[in-house]
Amino acid sequence: MNPEQKHIPSIFNDVIGPVMRGPSSSHSVAALRIGRVCRDLMLGTPDRVVVSYDAGDALATTHESQGSDMGMKGGLLGFEPDDVRLLDPDPHLAEAGIDLSFRVCDTGFDLSNLYLVHLQRGELKMEVVAISTGGGMIEVTRINKVALSIKGDRQVVLWFSETGELYVKDSPPEGAIKRVIYPILPTRSHDPVEVPFSSCREMIQYNSEKNLPAWELASDYESMRGAVTEEEVFDKMRDLYRVMRAAIDSGLKGTRFKDRILGAQSAAYMKKLEAGGLAGGEALHNITLYVSAIMEVKSSMGIIVAAPTAGSCGTYPGAVIGVADSLVLNEEQVVMALLVGSLTGLFIATSSTFSAEIGGCQAECGSGAGMAAASIAWMLGGSVQECMSASSLALQNSLGMICDPIAARVEAPCLGKNISSAVNALTSANMAMAGYDQLIPLDEVIETMDRVGKSLPYELRCTALGGLAITPSAREIEKNLKNQKHQG
């Protein structure tokens, strides 16, 4: 509960996952997880909930279109991120008797991705301040005016007075009311949390005598981080790979969903490809098809893996699996490749962010490209250094990528950015394997990415207030979507 406690990322918490439905992990899943914490605080479903978004925050313009409201409803009901009931949570909310409202106002807090939640059940009242930190990760920073830190990776016991005062003493007084916040993340934290390295430089040094392949370094890290066996790490990644593969297969069959901008386009690509009307090799075509298929499943509220986010869910799996299929690799080899790419994700999660609201699309699709480049280099026989060089090149190519969602939806230009980022991963891996000089080490590129992202104008960081989002055509699309919603 210590607010000063350093966050040590996990592959399966921060980088690959969650398995989810919804347009945006930093909106949909984060809100759901915050709602789950609120549910625990109230010992079940509250009577009344008011969720406030700050007028100066990106959530003010995107909370409805990108799934924050939907996620909060699901969390208050105790749903998991992949629950089919998230497609229409309102009847379940009414059945549970929860009076839920959302508002945009001046909350008084200067925090990105802020959720200010007021809860009531009978005479009991609670105020919760929480933030989404990217990729579905959260932090509860205050409860009833008391600063704390709850991230969902461990069980937390809190004690309150009858009037709702939160006790911070180790030994609560007699009559104190107990509340248990249960873990909501796949990988739990065990004190002390230790990892073998936290940067690329430290990893290279750690491996100087061990000489382990890159995928085993990832396994070493996660095994120590989660106090699990390396076999369990491998099995977990295999499970996630199978969800990714299922999303590709499902998307290529065609998806249907009324409330979206783009229809299913991967089928048209495949038809044109079969007719000989497209240029490029097998790996390139696989990437385009697979990224498109995954993004179309996401946009139709199907099940995907946020890797590292839902907005960039096509880049990493589409690039890795697309290249793997062109190389005719087996499932075990693809799982190893996914572990390799997760190393880059760990370094980004440690020193930067996956949140487009903080770092623009370079934090999402750019990160996915850096991760995929390492995986592809490994599949081509690359050493640990060559894999990290590939990541460095891909991230260098992504610096400054803005986030400007049309109609505040995670569809366009997100689809094109996912595809181009996946192709960037392929070419960067080829460059690294051909001996191109990265010049700037990966750690320095990640630091630069963080600095550049924070210097992007607010309008270009997932607010839908700049870039393509404010063109006349985009405004017309937004208007048409609103009319369709009112009519339907």
- Reply yes or no on whether the pLDDT at 5 is more than 70: no
The region, left, alpha or beta by phi > 0 then psi within -120 to 50, assigned to residue 400 is left
Whether 247 has a pLDDT exceeding 80, the answer reads yes
Are 116 and 131 spatial neighbours (Cβ–Cβ below 8 Å)? no
Task: State the sign of the Cα–Cα–Cα–Cα dihedral 322, 325, 330, 331.
Answer: positive
* pLDDT band of 7, cuts 50, 70, 90: confident
Please report which confidence band the pLDDT of residue 2 belongs to, taking 50, 70 and 90 as the band edges. low
Cα 364 from Cα 417, distance rounded (Å): 10
- Quick check: 486 pLDDT over 70? no
Q: What is the pLDDT of residues 347-358, one digit of tens each?
A: 999 999 999 999
Q: Are 357 and 113 in contact, with CB atoms under 8 Å apart? A: yes
CA angle 55, 115, 488 (to 5 degrees): 75
DSSP 28-87: IIHHHHHHHHHHHHTTS--SEEEEEEETTSTHHHHTTTTTHHHHHHHHHTT--TT-GGGG
pLDDT at 3 over 60: no
Query: What pLDDT, in 10s, does the model give residues 62-114?
Result: 999 999 999 999 999 999 999 999 999 999 999 999 999 999 999 999 999 99
What integer is the mean pLDDT of 458-466?
96
Alpha-carbon distance 53 to 335, whole Å? 39
- pLDDT tens digits, 260-319: 888 888 989 999 999 999 999 999 999 999 999 999 999 999 999 999 999 999 999 999
Q: Which of 101-105, 121-125, 142-146 has the lowest mean pLDDT?
A: 121-125
Is 210:256 a contact under the CB 8 Å cutoff? no
Residue 245 has pLDDT above 60, yes or no: yes
Residue 231 clears pLDDT 70, i.e. is over it: yes
Q: What is the mean pLDDT of the chain?
A: 95
Name the helix (H) or strand (E) containing 453. Answer: helix 442-455
Using CB atoms within 10 A of its CB, is residue 173 exposed (0-12), middle (13-18) or buried (19+)?
A: exposed
Collapsing DSSP to helix, strand or coil, 234 comes out as helix
Cα–Cα distances in angstroms (integers) from residue 261 to residues 63, 214, 480, in the given order: 17, 40, 10
pLDDT at 4 exceeding the cut of 70? no
Query: What does the pLDDT read at residue 312?
Result: 98
DSSP H/E element including 422: helix 414-433
pLDDT, residue 437, reads: 98
The more confident residue out of 336 and 263 is 336
* Confidence band for 488, pLDDT divided at 50, 70 and 90: low
Domains contained in the chain, CATH given: 24-181 (3.30.1330.90), 200-487 (1.10.4100)
Q: What is the rounded CA–CA span in Å between residue 439 and residue 92?
A: 55
